[in-house]
Structure 1
Amino acid sequence: SYQYNVPESLPVASVVARIKAADADVGPNAEMEYKIVDGDGLGVFKISVDKDTQEGIITIQKELDFEAKTSYTLRIEAANMHVDPRFLSLGPFSDMTTVKIIVEDVDEPPVFTSRLYSMVVSEAAKVSTIIGTVAAHDPDASNSPVRYSIDRNTDLERYFNIDANSGVITTAKSLDRETNAVHNITVLAMESQNPAQIGRGYVAITILDINDNAPEFAMEYETTVCENAQPGQVIQKISAIDKDDPPNGHQFYFSLTAEAANNQNFTLQDNKDNTATVLTRRNGFRRQEQSVFYLPIFIMDSGSPSLSSTNTLTIRVCDCDADGIAQTCNAEAYILPAGLSTGALIAILACVLTLLVLVLLIVTMRRRKKEPLIFDEERDIRENIVRYDDEGGGEEDTEAFDMAALRNLNIIRDTKTRRDVTPEIQFLSRPTFKSIPDNVIFREFIWERLKEADVDPCAPPYDSLQTYAFEGNGSVAESLSSLDSISSNSDQNYDYLSDWGPRFKRLADMYGTGPDCLYS
């Protein structure tokens, strides 16, 4: 005999066990067949033969339920398929065995009493109105309590709520059948002891209609009337629609509003088939007199209570051909008193705007033109004002702006003994330096200034900026700065400027000592 344990959650058609009868024969003489001949699992299990291994394969035909039955017993027979008649006396060529299958309990999710619940509710239902109830239970022997919730992926707008303990479904907000006539939601049932076990139930909630929408025109009508129309001529047939869905269908009633009932231009005829006809009352329509008419039409439904609306039909007066087909519906363009039509005025305005744009472009381009950067040689630059936004140190500051610091290196000065007063600088004749590289001259000049700043107790702060306007001796004309003369009371001879050519004639006249000098 054989015994096998199977979980109750094993799917249908799964293999439960494999058994094999021993046979010393080989080849076709060893081929066998198996069948269940007795037992309480005849309808639950079946057995087949594996042609390669000659094993009997037991599979499930129906779902197992531990709570309904915990074990099954099967009587199985194995027999040779091919028996040689010569050896029948040696038979029988078959054998019997017993197979016991034990069903194991598995924690199963809650099960709803119905796979689909159908409920109805009126769209006029107030919030918290009870719609219906769902129920689920734990199929296990423990019979754990169940808690309910709504899968919000199926109720995104949160129209409904459910009581977690009782399963009662109620409305959470106002409903509108015209927006959604049927709501399909999924209800979840969870075991209290094992929330991972979740059962699902499906609820279809149908919204019952109420008459909460007034009828209106079925479409936007473009109605025209010919200037040569005759009284009683049909110019438009209209119909209506209503978003509501009454049980007996729609029935609409058409009429003109009270203020339009006695108008002399148009009338309305209700056709009693949810349509109406608009007719003319007179002839002699003229676009020059009135090109558009507005006809208010009253439409009422048959609901309880009935609802109504007023819709306006726009009627344009048109020039029609002999067949009554509209050709043009616009009012004629009138000639202006000055003899210019509207088209001519538009053309004139366009030309004026074009000229204005051209003028603006020309003005903009002229403003963007830059003045030449080269000064005229004849321009006297002495009157130019150069602004240096630099503030002095006051009356007591005689060091930070000592103009003697700007003198040329070729001028020899005496060693300073005091830095709290402005030193007197004596200008001597310009000595001739031997030709040395410029970088050496600059290095010596800077090094000398550094030594003076280190030993001077009255020097400016270390983080102040000191500007040394030093030129070097590369120019043939040497220094042209007039700052040396400003920082000294001694006279200097500028007669050599006359030897530099006509370009320096003005300077020679200004600073020379000859009889033709401009200044004394």
Structure 2
Amino acid sequence: MLNLYFIEHDEEAERYFNIDANSGVIKTMKILDREDAPWHNITVIASELDNPSQLTQVPVAIHVLDVNDNTPELAEDYDTILCENAKPGQIIQTVRALDKDDFANGPRFSFSLAQEFPPNPNFTLRDNEDSTASIMIRRRKFSRHLQEVYQLPIVVSDSGNPILSSTGTLTIRVCACERNGKVRTCSTEAYLSAAGLSTGALIAILLCIVILLAIIILFITLKRSKKEPLIISEEDIRENVVTYDDEGGGEEDTEAFDISALRNPAVAEEVRYRRDVRPDVQSVPRQRPPSAPNGPDIHEFITEKLQEADLDQSVPPYDSLQTYAYEGHGSTAGSISSLDSVTTHSEQDYSYIGDWGPHFKKLSELYGVDKSERSN
């Protein structure tokens, strides 16, 4: 009896296997990787050649065996710190390794220093034979001023067949520590060197930042230095301050100070007079009030001055105080000043002042009367 074989494939699944329709031999169509999929499940269908309606389905599980196709590597990027006061034989770091292969081709791992480099005078490696290794110091007196970063290449090998190995680099930074091993200070350049930035690259970055800041400051300064025009447009009627370097000529020079614009337009006249020229004052008939005979008329004088002020077009439009110095020419009552009392003879006798003592001698001489004058 002849049979036919084929695999029931899922439309969305990727096809890794194929089967011979006559012999039923299953073959791979792609390279398998145990680390991606250690098991594959397929369904094989068999039918009679003479009667295709007779079908049989059989599930088939395919186990992918491991081969040593992955190299081991350090478990992480170690940040190793070395104190300047560290002693020889001191362990500064313990490293581990990882391998994607199965246990038979992975652990146990072995560690060693790279043989292509000369013997390292600063550090040594001890394999702990438990898939770990310890990094120890070989000398004393490290100085971060002389060298801040050390690079130590470490070779990691697996136990597979054939043996695979890889080289990882351990970065060691020198720091200032206290006696108890607590880190006090570390150089910033050490972090940058571990990140792949050299001193030259750091200087270039800082220089670019400084140039960018200088350009920004210059742009802001130029923008602030621009001044707006005094008058933006003809429609702008804002008041503006105009400064003149002109010195006046005194009270006599009044032509430069025309204040006629401050006058009320309703009462302003077309003809304006200069302040230094006295306008003609028209005489206004007035009555003479009764006054003393042959005496000055004060009312007439004030009325005349008032008329002059009213008709003067050069005076300010506001009220002002007019002050006139006027003194009379005499009085019918005569002088009542006490200054003339010295020239008059008084009947009062002040001779007794001399009897008051030497302190009143001067007053007695001024106001007293001599005995000779009395007898006359």
What's the TM-score, normalizing by structure 2?
Answer: 0.49
Structure (1/2) with the larger strand percentage: 1
Q: Which structure ranks higher in relative contact order (CA pairs < 8 Å, sequence separation ≥ 6)?
A: 2
Structure (1/2) with the larger helix percentage: 2
What's the TM-score, normalizing by structure 1?
Answer: 0.36
Q: Which has the larger radius of gyration?
A: 2
